[in-house]
Amino acid sequence: MAIKAPNNGWWRGGVIYQIYPRSYQDTNADGIGDLPGITQRLDHIAALGADGIWLSPFFKSPMKDFGYDVSDYRDVDPMFGTLNDFKTLVARAHSLGLRVMIDQVLSHTADQHPWFVESRSSRTNPKADWYVWADAKDDGNPPNNWLSIFGGSAWQWDTGRLQYYMHNFLTSQPDLNFHNPEVQQAVLDDVRFWLELGVDGYRLDTANFYCHDRQLRSNPGRGQPDGEDPAVNATNPYGWQRHLYDKSQPENLVFLQRLRALLDEYPNTAMVGEIGDDDGLARMAEYTGLGPDNQPMLHMAYCFDLLGTKKDATFLHALFSRFLSVVGDGWPCWALSNHDCARLATRWGGTDPDGRLLRLAAAMQMTLRGTPCIYQGDELGLPEADVAFEDLQDPYGITMWPSFKGRDGCRTPMPWSQAEPHAGFGPAKPWLPVSPAHVPLAVDLQQAAPDSLLAFYTQLLHWRRDQHALLHGDMTLQTSHPQVLAYERSHTIGGHTQRLACVFNFSAQPATWPMPTGWVQASAHNLGLASATVQDQHLVLQPWGGWVASL
pLDDT at 228: 59
Identify the CA nearest to 338 among candidates 5, 117, 20: 20
pLDDT at 496 over 80: yes
Cα separation, 365 vs 316, whole angstroms = 12
In a domain, 329, yes or no: yes
What pLDDT, in 10s, does the model give residues 433-470?
A: 999 999 999 999 999 999 999 999 999 999 999 999 99
Q: How many domains does the chain have?
A: 2
Same domain (yes/no): 223, 289:
yes
> Which of 51, 200, 205, 378 is the catalytic position?
205
Whether the per-residue pLDDT at 142 is higher than 60: the answer is: yes
pLDDT tens by residue, 191-218: 999 999 999 999 999 999 999 999 999 9
In terms of domains, do 359 and 420 share one? yes
Q: Is residue 175 part of a domain?
A: no
Going by pLDDT thresholds of 50, 70 and 90, the confidence category of residue 232 is low
Residue 504 shares a structural domain with residue 358: no
Residue tagged active-site, from 265, 340, 386, 474:
265
- Torsion 121-126-132-136 (CA) sign: positive
Do 300 and 402 belong to one domain?
A: yes
Q: What percent of the chain stands above pLDDT 70?
A: 98
Query: 448 exposed, middle or buried (CB, 10 Å; 0-12, 13-18, 19+)?
Result: exposed
Residues 487 and 525 in one domain: yes
- What is the spatial distance between Cα 334 and Cα 15, in angstroms, rounded to a whole number? 10
Q: Exposed/middle/buried for 324, CB within 10 Å: 0-12, 13-18, 19+? A: middle
pLDDT class of 229 with cuts at 50, 70, 90 = low
Distance between CA atoms of 157 and 165, rounded to whole angstroms?
A: 7
| Residue 29 φ/ψ, nearest 5 degrees | 60, 40
Q: Edge-to-edge strand order for the sheet containing 532-535?
A: 511-514, 538-541, 532-535
CB contact set of 65 (below 8 Å; sequence gap of 6+)? 169, 170, 172, 173, 395
DSSP three-state, residue 44: helix
Q: Are residues 453 and 491 in the same domain?
A: no
My answer on whether 422 and 314 are in the same domain is: yes
Is 90 exceeded by the pLDDT of residue 400?
no
**Per residue in 60-87, pLDDT tens?**
999 999 999 999 999 999 999 999 999 9
SS3 87: helix
What's 297's domain CATH number?
3.20.20.80
* Burial call 106-121: b when 16+ CB within 10 Å, e when fewer: bbbbbbbbebbeebbe
Is the pLDDT assigned to residue 231 strictly greater than 70? no
Residue 58 clears pLDDT 90, i.e. is over it: yes
pLDDT at 418 over 80: yes
Q: How confident is the model at residue 233 (pLDDT cuts 50, 70, 90)?
A: low
Does residue 428 share a domain with residue 285?
yes
Is 342 among the domain residues? yes
Same domain, 350 and 387: yes
Answer yes or no: is 95 within a domain.
yes
pLDDT at residue 230 tops 70: no
Contacts of 139 (CB under 8 A, 6+ apart): none
Quote the domain boundaries for residue 333.
Answer: 16-111+202-252+272-464
Task: Judge whether 218 lies within some domain.
Answer: yes
How far is it, in rounded angstroms, from Cα 243 to Cα 263? 29
Is the CB of residue 470 less than 8 Å from the CB of residue 497? no
pLDDT for the residue 279: 86
Q: Is residue 414 part of a domain?
A: yes
* Interatomic CA distance for residues 484 and 336, integer angstroms: 19
Encode pLDDT of 338-357 as tens digits.
Answer: 999 999 999 999 999 999 99
- State mean pLDDT over 46-61: 98
Average pLDDT of every residue of the chain:
95
Give the model's pLDDT for residue 262: 98
| 499 plus 459 within the same structural domain | no
CA nearest neighbour of 55 among 30, 88, 90, 28: 90
Radius of gyration of the chain (CA): 23
Of 464, 482, 512, which residue constitutes the final position of a domain? 464
Report the Cα 98 to chain-centroid distance in Å. Answer: 18
Same domain, yes or no: 78 and 35: yes
Residue ending a domain, among 434, 464, 494, is: 464
Of 427, 446, 464, the last residue of a domain is 464
The answer, yes or no, to whether residue 520 has pLDDT greater than 90, is: no
Among candidate residues 235, 229, 240, the one with its CA nearest the CA of residue 280: 229
More confident residue, 232 or 70: 70
Task: Please count the residues of the chain.
Answer: 551
- In sequence order, the 6+-apart residues with CB closer than 8 A to the CB of 421 are 427
Helix (H) or strand (E) holding 52, with range, is strand 52-55
Answer for the pair 423, 441: CB distance below 8 angstroms, yes or no: no
Bridge partners, residue 203, by sequence: 103, 272
Task: Look up 265 and say whether it is catalytic.
Answer: yes
pTM score? 0.96
Rounded mean pLDDT of 156-168? 98
Active site residue 205: yes
Q: What is the mean pLDDT of residues 150-155?
A: 94
* Res 227 pLDDT > 80: no
Based on the fold, state whether residues 243 and 354 are members of the same structural domain: yes
Question: Count of CB atoms within 10 A of residue 226's CB?
Answer: 9
* Residue 92, CA atoms < 13 Å, CB-side half-sphere: 19
CATH code for the domain of 536: 2.60.40.1180
Residues 273 and 54: their CA atoms lie apart, in Å, by 12
